[in-house]
Amino acid sequence: MSDLSPTREAARQLASLLPDPCTPGGEAWRFFHFQTNDFCTVERTVRLACGMRKDLHAPLFLSIDRFYELVSGADTRKKRVEEFDFHAAQASVPELLDGCQVFVWQTFSKMSPNQAQEPKYSALLFKFLQFCESERAECLQAAAEGRRPGTELLPLSRQVVFISYGPYFPLPELLRESLCTIQYGPLTPEDFGVLLPEYWQRNEERTRRTLGGGRLADAMLKKKEPPVFSPELLKWYADYMAGIPELNVRRLLTEMAYPGGNVDYTRRERLEPVIVDYKNKILRQHGRLEVLHSSGGEVRGLETVRRWLGAHKIRTPGLAPTGILLVGIPGTGKSATAKMAAKIMDLPLVRLDMSKILGGYVGDSEKGMREMLDDLRFAAPCVLWIDEVEKAMGGADARSDGSGVMQRLFGMLLTFMQENDRSVFSVTTANDISRLPPEFFRNGRFDQAFCLMMPEYGGCCEIMQEKLTQRMRGSGWLGPEETADADTARRLFHACIGTKEHPRFLTGADIEAHVKELFSSYHRERADRPPEQELVQRMREAAKTVRVQAPADSPAAMREIAARYLDMMQRGLLMAGSADTPFVRENLELDRVRYYRYREGDRALPNCLRPPENYQERLASASEAEWYDARFFQCLVEAMNEQIILDRDRTPEETRQAYWKLKSARLR
C-alpha cells in the first residue's frame, strides 16, 4: 500500500517533533494526538516518521493497558494510592534496553454525559509527565557539572511517547498543554493519480481470477491498457472526496467495482451516486443534514436565474460563488430552483433542517450548529438548500427570543456562508424578507438576490406545457420523447384565468393544481387522448373548483402580494422572470417610495406608484394573448397605491395618522 500525501505530511510533522535521544535535556512533546479514527493510519505514520529519522530505531507499539501493568505492579487494583515505577518498564521490555522508541497508544471516543470527563489513565499520564520533568532536570544538572547521568541507559522520557487517536481528546488542562495534534489533510489530485491506476489493476486481476479455461486465455490475449486519467478527472475526485479519510476512500474505490466486478473509474456519472450515498449514510447517522440526488429539471419562467447559474458554475473551489437568495410568494418555484441549481452545477443537493439542530439545554443549539457546519464541510462540494429561512431564523432579531440563541445561530450561519473555504453554494429561499434582520442582505452574504414574482404570460404557458407533458406521458397519451403541443397548453391556460373583468392570476403551483384536477376526471376513463376541445371544456369546469393564489377580486391577496413585491424592489432584488418581463423596477417610481419624507404642513400626498402611460391603452385594445400581464400589473399598482408607505423616522402608527391627516385636509 503506497503512502499518500496526507500520511507523508503527518509523518514529516511527527518526525520533526519526536524526542532526540542525543540531547536528553532538551524540550520535547510527551503526548501526540492523531486526528484519525484508523489505527492502521496511525501505525503507518509513526513507522514512516521513524524511518525519516536516522537516530531512531523501528518503533514498538504498546497499549496503555499493557504499559499500565508494567509500571504499576501486578496487584494494582487493591492499592488505594496509585504508584508507578517507570524504570520497571525498562527492565520488562527488552526493546527499551536496545534503545527502541516505544509508542503507548490509546483511543478516545465520544463520551456520554454521565461518563467522567477525564480519561481512565489520567493519573498515569500526570505521573509520567512529572517523571519526565524530573529526569530532564537531572540530565541538565549532570551536564552543568560535567558528569554523566546516574544510569547508563537512555533516559526513559526520550524513549516512551504517548499517542492517541480518535475524534476527541478530553485531556485535563495541564496535560493538554503537553499535547501536540497531528492532522491529516485531504487527498490531492496527485494522490488519486496513484490510487486510481492501483485499484484499476486490482480490479483487472480480480476479474482474471474469476475466469477459467478458454475465457481466461481470451482475457489474457485481450489484456487492457490502463485508462488515461485526465487532470480534470483527478481534480473531480479530490473535490468530491475531500473530507473523507484515506481508508474510507480506499473502501469506496473497492465498492465501486461491485456488484458487477467491473468498473470504469473514468465514468463520473456512475461513480458520483456511490460517493453521494456514502456521504448520505454518514450524515444520516448524525441526523442534521440530508443529501439529495440532483434530479431537478429546468424551472420554466425563470430564465434569468438559469442563465445566472450557468454563468457562475463552480469551476475553481477556492473561487466558488457564495450563493443566491430567492424571495417570493409561495408557489413561484423557489424550492424547484434549488434543485435546478444542483443539476446545473452538477453537485449533490444538501437540505438543512433547523429543527434538528435546536436543543433543549443551554449550549446544545450552538453545539448542534457547529457540528452541522462540520458536516457541511464534509459534504462539500455541494449545494446547500436553506428553505424558508425567515421561519428557521424567526428569532434572529433578538426581540422574540430573550436568550439570544437564534441570534447566535444566525450569526454562525452567516459567518460560514461568507468565510467558508470549501465549495458550498447556498440557495436560500424566503417568503417574507421583512422578518429577516438587515445584515442578512449585506454584500458578501449572497452573490445575487432574486425576486420571484408571479410568472408572466409566456412563463405560465411554458409551465402549463411542462405539466401537461408529465401527465400525458403518465397516462400513455404521449411517448417518452414527445411533448405536449404549445397551442394546446396556451388554450388550456386561457381556460383557467377568467376574463379581463374578473381575472385569476396563477402561480406555478396553481397551474400544477389545475392540471392535476383536470386529469383526475380522466382517471381510468380512457386510454386514448381526448380531443383538444374536450380538454379545454373540462379545464374550464375544473378551474371553478381550484383556488388560486391571486384572484383579482380578492383585495387582501393582492395587497399582500403588492406589499412583498414593493419590499423586494426597494431592497434592490433582481427580477427572476424572462428577459422582457414587465414586472421590473424601471416601471415603478420607487425613488418616491424610498425617499419620501412627511413634512408637517406639506399638503402633497405621496403619489408613489403609477403604471406606465401606455398600459391603459394596451389593456383596452389587448387581445386574449396580451391582456394577462397588463391586467395583473394594473391590479398590482392599484394595490401598491393603497399601501401605507412607512417613514423611516416614524413608527407605523405615526406614519398612518400623518397620512390620513394629509388626505383629509386635501379632501376638504
Query: In the numeric block, which cell numbers belong to residue 74?
Result: 501486578
**In the block, which residue shows the cell 482474471?**
208
Domain identity same for 478 and 493: yes
Domain identity same for 505 and 373: no
pLDDT of residue 596: 37
Q: Which residues of the chain have pLDDT under 70?
A: 1, 21-26, 74-82, 97, 109-119, 147-154, 208-224, 258-262, 293-298, 314-321, 359-362, 392-404, 523-527, 579-626, 640-668
Query: In the numeric block, which cell numbers belong to residue 542?
Result: 375544473
Helix or strand run (H / E) with residue 324: strand 323-328
Q: What span, in angstroms and rounded, lies between the C-alpha atoms of 147 and 132?
A: 20
What residue spans of 346-437 are helical by DSSP H? 364-379, 389-392, 405-419
Q: Report which of 207, 342, 187 is spatially closest to residue 262, judged by C-alpha positions.
A: 207
Domain contains 258 = yes
Supply the DSSP string of 324-371, one letter for each residue: EEEEESTTSSHHHHHHHHHHHHT--EEEE-GGGT--SSTTHHHHHHHH
pLDDT of residue 641: 61
Supply the DSSP string of 585-643, one letter for each residue: GGGS-HHHHHH----TT-----------TTHHHHHHH--TTTHHHHHHHHHHHHHHHTS
Domain identity same for 437 and 489: no
Domain identity same for 324 and 431: yes
pLDDT of residue 319: 59
pLDDT of residue 71: 86
Domain contains 390 = yes
Domain identity same for 524 and 573: no
DSSP state of 160: E
Cβ atoms of 228 and 267 within 8 Å: the answer is: no
Distance of CA 261 to the CA centre of its chain: 33
DSSP state of 80: S
Amino acid letter, residue 385: W
DSSP state of 577: S
Domain contains 662 = yes
pLDDT of residue 653: 60
Domain contains 275 = no
pLDDT of residue 43: 93
**In the block, which residue shows the cell 403604471?**
611
Cβ atoms of 350 and 290 within 8 Å: the answer is: yes
pLDDT of residue 191: 92
Q: What span, in angstroms and rounded, lies between the C-alpha atoms of 234 and 483?
A: 39
pLDDT of residue 301: 74
pLDDT of residue 222: 54
Q: Could you tell me the CA-to-CA distances from 102 to 4, 40, 94, 160, 163 in Å, in that order?
A: 25, 16, 11, 5, 10
**In the block, which residue shows the cell 511527527?**
14
Q: Which of 115, 149, 182 is the last residue of a domain?
A: 182
Which residues on neighbouring strands pair with residue 383, listed in sequence order? 349, 425
Rg, the chain, Cα only: 35
Domain identity same for 245 and 362: no
User: Which residues are CB-contacts of 499 (< 8 A; sequence separation ≥ 6)?
Assistant: none
Q: Report which of 623, 369, 611, 616 is spatially closest to residue 490, judged by C-alpha positions.
A: 623
Q: Could you tell me the CA-to-CA distances from 440 to 420, 424, 430, 482 in Å, in that order?
A: 16, 18, 12, 44
Q: Report which of 261, 267, 277, 198 is spatially closest to residue 237, judged by C-alpha positions.
A: 267
Q: What span, in angstroms and rounded, lies between the C-alpha atoms of 434 and 590?
A: 17
**% helix, strand, coil for the chain, step of 5:** 50, 10, 40
Domain identity same for 30 and 169: yes
pLDDT of residue 112: 44
Using DSSP's 3-state secondary structure scheme, residue 556 falls into: helix
Distance of CA 513 to the CA centre of its chain: 31
Amino acid letter, residue 614: N
Q: How many domains does the chain have?
A: 5
Domain contains 663 = yes
pLDDT of residue 607: 39
Domain identity same for 623 and 508: no
Which residue range forms the structural domain that includes residue 624? 555-667
Cβ atoms of 195 and 250 within 8 Å: the answer is: yes
Domain contains 272 = no
Q: What span, in angstroms and rounded, lies between the C-alpha atoms of 191 and 269?
A: 21
Domain identity same for 259 and 291: no
Q: What span, in angstroms and rounded, lies between the C-alpha atoms of 558 and 554?
A: 6
Domain identity same for 158 and 10: yes
Dihedral (Cα; 465, 466, 471, 473), 10-degree rounding: 100
Domain identity same for 147 and 207: no
What residue spans of 500-570 are helical by DSSP H? 508-520, 532-543, 555-570
pLDDT of residue 236: 83
Domain contains 271 = no
Using DSSP's 3-state secondary structure scheme, residue 31 falls into: strand
Cβ atoms of 505 and 554 within 8 Å: the answer is: no
How many Cβ atoms are within 10 Å of 277's Cβ, its own excluded?
A: 14
Q: Could you tell me the CA-to-CA distances from 289 to 351, 378, 403 in Å, in that order?
A: 6, 11, 25
pLDDT of residue 212: 56
Q: Which of 420, 436, 452 is the last residue of a domain?
A: 452
Domain contains 278 = no
Using DSSP's 3-state secondary structure scheme, residue 329 falls into: coil
Domain identity same for 68 and 90: yes
Q: Which of 161, 182, 203 is the last residue of a domain?
A: 182
